[in-house]
Amino acid sequence: MRINFRLACVSAVALSSVALADTVTLVGGPTNIAFGNVRIGTISTALTSSATFHTPTVSGNVQTGVAFDGTSTSPFSGLSKSVTSPNLVGSNKTVTSNGYTFAPQTFATTNRTLNMKYTANTATPSIKTNATFSLSGTGVGPQYVTDLGSTDFGVAQVGSPVSFVFNIFNLSPSANGLGNLTSLSLVNISFTGSPAFHTDLIPQVLVKGASVSFQVFFDPTLATLGAQTGQLLIQTDQRAAFGSAKGDGFIYNLQGFGVATPEPSTLAFVGLGLGMALLSRRRKK
């Protein structure tokens, strides 16, 4: 999977005063982590989500803790980070989270609001203050659509293949101009079962809105007479990194019945027999 890295925006945010000798202040921290457009099936990670707190100037043993909320709702996730240290009176403390990830599974823009929490425990009272920031991202990607389905080719003679024309479309609903984020790769084309089936479809890339027409053939030989079955497998990078063979694969069942082409001598014999039968009928009349 491809991993995209984006830095969190950092800005100074002032929090409300606390009724003690000093205030708890968020000196600097993220207000928004925007992942932007991320291909469905991949993961984008924000490496830096940090906050700096100024602890109050109070006497006694002051315990400070800064926690990043790591329980966000899918498709966002992240690991929380907490720090506790004694006697940080009047100092600044910077804490960096382990990073948040965005792993979209749908064509949608998602927004989440998370909390950073500070707690300073004194005899009385305890100081608690929160700062919020948002996560946002948009799932984009290709969308595989085809009129190909399970196909019965009927009866085909050796040397006279039967074929059908089909189409594959990339109907991505994502925005234009996103390049490979919305391109569809036909990574591999293969068959299982009878060797009587083949196609002229080859691996290629379809940009958003593009399509390709191709044929699937049933071409029996003397070694593949009678009922024949097979499967056409099309491997794509849909729901995976661009060009990856770990995306969605599609399987189509095929069947046909192969018959031998009559030898010329056999056709002449059949023609002679039909001619004699017609002559016999005329004589009886």
> In this model, does residue 59 exceed pLDDT 50?
no
> In this model, does residue 197 exceed pLDDT 70?
yes
Q: Higher model confidence: residue 47 or residue 145?
A: 145
Percentage, residues of the chain above pLDDT 70: 56
Query: Worst-scoring range by mean pLDDT, 11-25, 122-136, 144-158, 263-277?
Result: 11-25
> In this model, does residue 172 exceed pLDDT 70?
yes
Q: Classify residue 90 as left (phi > 0), alpha (psi -120 to 50) or beta.
A: left
According to the model, what pLDDT value does residue 24 have?
47
Paired tokens of 94: 């910077």
Q: What are the pLDDT digits (tens) for 23-44? A: 445 555 556 778 999 999 999 8
Phi and psi torsions of 40, nearest 5°: -60, 135
Phi and psi torsions of 161, nearest 5°: -65, 150
- Interval 193-217 mean pLDDT: 98
Paired tokens of 28: 């600097």
Query: Worst-scoring range by mean pLDDT, 54-58, 175-179, 220-224, 256-260?
Result: 54-58
Query: Worst-scoring range by mean pLDDT, 100-114, 205-219, 260-274?
Result: 260-274
Task: Report helix, strand or coil for 101.
Answer: strand
According to the model, what pLDDT value does residue 112 have?
81
For residue 236, the surrounding DSSP H or E stretch is: strand 226-236
**Taking a C-beta distance cutoff of 8 angstroms, is the pair 15, 55 a contact?**
no
> What is the sign, positive or negative, of the torsion defined by CA atoms of 273, 277, 278, 282?
positive
**What structural domains and CATH numbers belong to the chain?**
3-140 (2.60.40.10), 144-257 (2.60.40.10)
Question: Distances from the Cα of 92 to the Cαs of 65, 116, 124, 197, in angstroms?
Answer: 12, 16, 22, 71
Query: Worst-scoring range by mean pLDDT, 66-70, 214-218, 263-267?
Result: 66-70
- Interval 136-158 mean pLDDT: 97
According to the model, what pLDDT value does residue 113 have?
75
Q: What is the pTM of this model?
A: 0.72
| Residues 6 or more apart whose Cβ sits within 8 Å of residue 26 | 12, 13, 14, 15, 51, 52, 53, 116, 118, 129, 131
According to the model, what pLDDT value does residue 164 have?
97
For residue 32, which of 129, 113, 130 has the smallest C-alpha distance? Answer: 113
Q: Rounded to an integer, what distance in angstroms lies between the CA atom of residue 164 and that of residue 147? A: 11
According to the model, what pLDDT value does residue 276 have?
58
Paired tokens of 141: 């990607």
Lookup result for tokens 């299982």: 192
Q: What is the CA radius of gyration of the chain?
A: 34
> What is the sign, positive or negative, of the torsion defined by CA atoms of 50, 10, 181, 112?
positive
According to the model, what pLDDT value does residue 12 have?
29
Q: What are the pLDDT digits (tens) for 4-24? A: 433 333 332 333 333 333 444
**Taking a C-beta distance cutoff of 8 angstroms, is the pair 3, 100 a contact?**
no
Q: How confident is the model at residue 52 (pLDDT cuts 50, 70, 90)?
A: low
Paired tokens of 221: 């030989």
